Chains A and B, each alone.
Chain A
Amino acid sequence: MANEIVNMENIEKHFGNVIALAGVSFNVRSGECHCLLGDNGAGKSTFIKTMAGVHQPTRGRMFIEGTETVFDSPREAMNAGIATVYQDLAMIPLMSVTRNFFMGREPAKGKGVFKRYDTKFAAETAMKEMRKMGINLREPDQAVGTLSGGERQTVAIARAVYFGAKVLILDEPTSALGVRQTANVLKTVDGVRKQGIGVVLITHNVRHALAVGDRFTVLNRGKTLGTANRGEITLEELQDLMAGGQEMASLADSLGGTV
């Protein structure tokens, strides 16, 4: 398809004798939210780390906007527009929102020895970008430590979007959040999608996935079990797939149909 930003074909990843991924195919289009579901240990983390350039695939091919690509480092993936927001967020609680926002990519003005951190621009930009996401900061030098978990997620997402992400990978963004904060983060995901960015949402919470997802891919034991579009699959079916599908059914039989 024309607007596929990332296309991963039959990705395999072996760590020595351990086969973490045994052929995963996955793609992301611009402006969609593609949910990657799976139980613990299904290979979700390994897969997104491969996508983000942390791991290199043992076999399989990866295309970015139609061109075959191999990322040697996370930095290369970032430069290609693939941004990852990990669970631990890469935020520093003692530092201000603004300083976190621009950490490692500080805007500078002036030349040579007079090159300096552009505080005014940084503060205004951080405030503006956060307002776009629906968060009104009291002041640009408010410490990240004073924000709630959901707001911190939003800072991380806003940062990735501002620095030109085309694909945003969110690793379990809702796993540690309460009900209302989860709703806020999912609303942010919806907003990001509408800007034409492809969102990859990793979760094992089917409810959260169904709330925002356009497509759903289920991963089990390092393999994709298939991809479904929104409206083609029910919560129960997804849950079954995640838990192992057929195996689950036979397990239920052997226990006399009580599971």
Chain B
Amino acid sequence: MARLMKRPELGAFAGVVLVTIFFGITADSSMFTLAGFMNFMSPAAQLGILAIGAALLMIGGEFDLSVGSMIAFSGLFFGACVVTLGIPLIISIPATFVFAAAVGSINGQIVLRTGLPSFIVTLAFLFILRGLSLVGLKWATGGSTQLRGVRDAVEGSFLASVFSGDAFPGLFFWLAERDLIATFKNGSPKVTGIPVEIIWFVLIALAATYVLLRTPVGNWIFASGGDADAASNSGVPVRKVKLSLFMLTACCAALVAIITVLDSGSTDARRGFQKEFEAIIAAVIGGCLLTGGYGSAIGAFFGAIIFGMVLIGLTYTQIDQDWYLVFLGGMLLIAVLFNNMIRKRVTGER
């Protein structure tokens, strides 16, 4: 128990419990049906994929404020590949990841070579990438900031079902036939499957946690963020670790871009607007210290779920939805205070 109390994700987990109790009392009971669950997990998953990338990077001692713009930018690249150039998904998807990793490595190289704070460098890229997305979309569409027709272009591709729509529809039909889950009057299930982003979200959270806690690379990430000099004196390849984390964060943004583009059938220059802040807030709620070297991927997982629950949960209540923003700020403040307290206890600072 004492050991559990020390885990960085404790705060985020407590937050999930509190929010669940809150909506258990105030919200319509349909929020906690299977359909309601999928409703709030879906945006939570999209944010969570970003938040886990952001959390790893923060533990590694760096920031990336450009992930929101990166969603739009890699969405543009992906959309242009599929629609404008007509490249099949099997090539477009890997190409988008390579492209995002390249942009992420530019971020990383600038930070590592100049020694500037990543906050400033990636803030610059927040604007640069957003601007390039606008310009690029107009160029690709001939004047519009939206690129449509993705759905027609990818019709029938197997990969489309890995990155969009619902997974395991067969299972849900099977469950519906046996009356194990809620159905419509005609007997078809109300929930036809698990939205794929939720599956990606869970898989990434598990993989990130495994890497952090059970591999040498995880130790290197903590060490690089804790004290880069001490780490490299001890033989940790700090630069390589940080560069890879920048690339990974950008790839998380690209994954979200691909999922949303395929789901909505279009890409838009405003995609991912302010997501970088939400992702960082979810990571901080999850127990990451802004100074690096401490945090957890599971924490960011819970942090993102809190977001989804509040964003969607408010629509199940009588409460004005704009309270969401108030909540966002308040939650961040509480989380930072809480983390500060934890850090002092861990390091024995007074």
The answer on A and B forming one complex is: yes
Q: Contact check, A105 vs B235: say whether CB atoms are below 8 A apart.
A: yes
What is the bound-complex CA distance between A105 and B348, given in angstroms?
26
6 contacts between A and B (CB under 8 A): A74-B233, A92-B293, A103-B235, A143-B348, A145-B348, A146-B348
Q: Looking at the complex, which one of B234, B293, B346 makes contact with A104 (CB distance below 8 Å)?
A: B234
Are A90 and B230 CB-contacts (below 8 A) given A104-B223, A143-B347, A146-B346? yes
Are A91 and B219 CB-contacts (below 8 A) given A103-B236, A145-B348? no
Does any Cβ of A come within 8 Å of B202's Cβ?
no
Q: Looking at the complex, which one of A92, A115, A139 makes contact with B226 (CB distance below 8 Å)?
A: A92
Q: Contact check, B216 vs A94: say whether CB atoms are below 8 A apart.
A: no
Q: Please name all residues of chain A whose beta carbon is closer than 8 Å to the beta carbon of B138 when the two chains form the complex.
A: none
Main SS class of interface, A: loop
Per-residue B-contact encoding for A89-114, CB less than 8 Å = 1, 0 else: 11111110001001111101000000
How many positions in chain A have a CB within 8 Å of any CB in the partner chain?
Answer: 29
Are A93 and B219 CB-contacts (below 8 A) given A75-B235, A104-B234, A145-B349? no
B interface, size bucket = 20 to 34
Q: Contact check, A95 vs B216: say whether CB atoms are below 8 A apart.
A: no
Does any Cβ of A come within 8 Å of B215's Cβ?
yes
Q: Contact check, B236 vs A92: say whether CB atoms are below 8 A apart.
A: no
Q: Contact check, B234 vs A93: say whether CB atoms are below 8 A apart.
A: no
Q: Please name all residues of chain A whose beta carbon is closer than 8 Å to the beta carbon of B343 when the two chains form the complex.
A: 94
Does any Cβ of B come within 8 Å of A88's Cβ?
yes
In whole Å, how far is A127's beta carbon from the nearest beta carbon of chain B? 15
Does any Cβ of A come within 8 Å of B301's Cβ?
no
What is the bound-complex CA distance between A218 and B335, given in angstroms?
54
Q: Please name all residues of chain B whose beta carbon is closer than 8 Å to the beta carbon of A141 when the two chains form the complex.
A: 3
Does any Cβ of A come within 8 Å of B227's Cβ?
yes
Are A88 and B215 CB-contacts (below 8 A) given A75-B235, A143-B347? no
Q: Looking at the complex, which one of B214, B234, B346 makes contact with A94 (CB distance below 8 Å)?
A: B346
Q: List which A11-29 residues lie within 8 A (CB) of chain B.
A: none
Q: Looking at the complex, which one of A99, A102, A108, A143 makes contact with B346 (CB distance below 8 Å)?
A: A143
What is the bound-complex CA distance between A102 and B220, given in angstroms?
10
In whole Å, how far is A76's beta carbon from the nearest beta carbon of chain B? 12
Q: Contact check, A116 vs B235: say whether CB atoms are below 8 A apart.
A: no
Q: Looking at the complex, which one of A86, A94, A108 makes contact with B294 (CB distance below 8 Å)?
A: A94
Q: Please name all residues of chain B whose beta carbon is closer than 8 Å to the beta carbon of A117 when the two chains form the complex.
A: 213-216, 218-219
Does any Cβ of B come within 8 Å of A119's Cβ?
yes
In whole Å, how far is A111's beta carbon from the nearest beta carbon of chain B? 13
Q: Please name all residues of chain A whose beta carbon is closer than 8 Å to the beta carbon of B348 when the two chains form the complex.
A: 143, 145-147
What is the bound-complex CA distance between A146 and B345, given in angstroms?
8
In whole Å, how far is A194's beta carbon from the nearest beta carbon of chain B? 26
Q: List which A36-84 residues lie within 8 A (CB) of chain B.
A: 74-75, 78
Are A108 and B349 CB-contacts (below 8 A) given A94-B226, A94-B293? no
15 more A-B contacts (CB under 8 A) besides A95-B222, A99-B223, A117-B219? A86-B233, A88-B229, A90-B229, A94-B289, A94-B293, A94-B343, A94-B346, A99-B222, A103-B235, A104-B223, A108-B216, A117-B216, A119-B214, A141-B3, A145-B348
Residue on A with the closest CB to B238? A104
Q: Please name all residues of chain B whose beta carbon is closer than 8 Å to the beta carbon of A102 when the two chains form the complex.
A: 219
In whole Å, how far is A113's beta carbon from the nearest beta carbon of chain B? 10
Q: Contact check, B230 vs A89: say whether CB atoms are below 8 A apart.
A: yes
Per-residue A-contact encoding for B1-41, CB less than 8 Å = 1, 0 else: 00100000000000000000000000000000000000000
Q: Please name all residues of chain A whose beta carbon is closer than 8 Å to the beta carbon of B349 when the two chains form the complex.
A: 145
Q: Please name all residues of chain A whose beta carbon is closer than 8 Å to the beta carbon of B218 when the two chains form the complex.
A: 117
What is the bound-complex CA distance between A215 and B301, given in angstroms?
58
Q: Please name all residues of chain A whose beta carbon is closer than 8 Å to the beta carbon of B227 when the two chains form the complex.
A: 90-92
Q: Looking at the complex, which one of B219, B233, B294 makes contact with A90 (CB distance below 8 Å)?
A: B233
Q: List which B336-350 residues lie within 8 A (CB) of chain A.
A: 343, 346-349
Q: Please name all residues of chain B whose beta carbon is closer than 8 Å to the beta carbon of A86 when the two chains form the complex.
A: 233
What is the bound-complex CA distance between A74 and B232, given in angstroms?
11
Q: Contact check, A94 vs B347: say whether CB atoms are below 8 A apart.
A: yes
Residue on B with the closest CB to A107? B216
Does any Cβ of A come within 8 Å of B231's Cβ?
yes
Q: Contact check, B347 vs A92: say whether CB atoms are below 8 A apart.
A: no
Q: Contact check, B215 vs A115: say whether CB atoms are below 8 A apart.
A: yes
In whole Å, how far is B219's beta carbon from the nearest beta carbon of chain A? 5
Residue on A with the closest CB to B289? A94
Q: Looking at the complex, which one of A74, A103, A108, A116 makes contact with B231 (CB distance below 8 Å)?
A: A103
Q: Please name all residues of chain A whose beta carbon is closer than 8 Å to the beta carbon of B294 when the two chains form the complex.
A: 94
In whole Å, how far is A152's beta carbon from the nearest beta carbon of chain B? 11
Give the top 4 A-B pairs by smallest Cβ distance, nearest first.
A145-B347, A104-B235, A92-B226, A106-B216
In whole Å, how far is A180's beta carbon from the nearest beta carbon of chain B? 18
In whole Å, how far is A44's beta carbon from the nearest beta carbon of chain B? 19
Q: Please name all residues of chain A whose beta carbon is closer than 8 Å to the beta carbon of B213 when the two chains form the complex.
A: 117, 119
Which residue, of A88, A103, A117, A147, has the highest number of chain B Cβ atoms within 10 A?
Answer: A103
Q: Contact check, A146 vs B214: say whether CB atoms are below 8 A apart.
A: no
What is the bound-complex CA distance between A108 and B219, given in angstroms?
12
What is the bound-complex CA distance between A141 and B213, given in angstroms?
12
Per-residue B-contact encoding for A141-166, CB less than 8 Å = 1, 0 else: 10101110000000000000000000
